[in-house]
Amino acid sequence: MNNMPKNIPYILVSNDDGFFSNGIQALARLAAEFGRVIVVAPDTEQSAVGHAVTIYDPLRVNRIKVVDKIKGFSVTGTPADCVKLAHDQLLEEKPDLVLSGINHGSNAGINLLYSGTVSAATEGTVLGYPSIAVSCTDYDSNADLSACIVAARLMIDQVLKKGLPKGVTLNINAPSGPFKGLKWSKMADSRYVEEYEGRKDPLERPYYWLTGKFELLDTSPDADIQLLNQGYAAVTPIKYDLTDYDLLNAMKQNLEF
């Protein structure tokens, strides 16, 4: 690390599984191939928090050692909090790249909406930094992340060389173990059905657990989940401008106020 010249890339790494996870350690090691690395990650698992930010509680920060010689900070907040706080307070210079992951579990299709991993990367994009989210389809914390590493290495190299257009985040999903290569993809149309299981507690009071069966509704050959099912890694360019411009233009013509 100390041998690297000062103009080599400075890379912020975050995630939503917390800084103890194998996924962030693997991603931090990968990032270290490309430059100087700092990790800023939640101190506890923050899965499914989406783009939540902490507004009613103060954030606490601890200095941590993540893996090898890579250091960073743990934050008592969400993934989006981590990237905001890193940008505003913790980093000594502006990062050249923000990486989030490797998540244990896919962030393809509708899962993207709920993903803390993707939100950390999106927050990086909002703040003006090229940002990439990386997730493995296997939920096992000891899953084989080699496909994610290969896919992420290729995209990091491209993004550091060429940048990314304003407002765009790359969302990479890959299977565990061997894979057939990378494909550009779209977010697959998908949903959850039969979402909750009703139970009774020991005092006979009802409660509900989120469960749900995933349904893939999208048969497009470039839908991320279709590609993952075929053994490819899928790279989807996503944007945080949620405006539906096609409909906006249609509505302006059809419904004037």
According to the binding rule CB under 8 A, does residue 117 interact with its own copies?
no
Q: Per rule CB under 8 A, is residue 198 in the interface with its own copies?
A: yes
| Beta-sheet pairing, 213-216 with 190-193 | antiparallel
Among 1, 4, 60, 139, binds its own copies (CB under 8 A): 60
Q: What is the CA radius of gyration of the chain?
A: 19
| Residue 198 burial (C-beta neighbours within 10 Å; 0-12, 13-18, 19+) | exposed
Q: How far is the CB of 58 from its own copies (least distance, A)?
A: 4
Q: Which is nearer to its own copies, 96 or 224 (CB)?
A: 224
Pick out residues in 11-50 that bind its own copies (CB under 8 A): 45, 47-50
- β-bridge pairing 168-174 and 233-239: antiparallel
The token duo for 118 is 């993707």
Residue 236 binding its own copies, by CB under 8 A = yes
Q: 177 to 196, contacts with its own copies by CB under 8 A? A: 181-187, 189, 191-192, 194-196
Instruction: Please tell me the distance from the alpha carbon of residue 78 to that of residue 98, in angstroms, as a whole number.
Output: 16
* Residue 224: both structure tokens together: 């991320």
Quote the least distance from Cβ 67 to its own copies, whole Å: 25
Binding flag, residue 257, its own copies (CB under 8 A): yes
Measured from the CB atom, the residue of 4 and 240 that comes closer to its own copies is 240
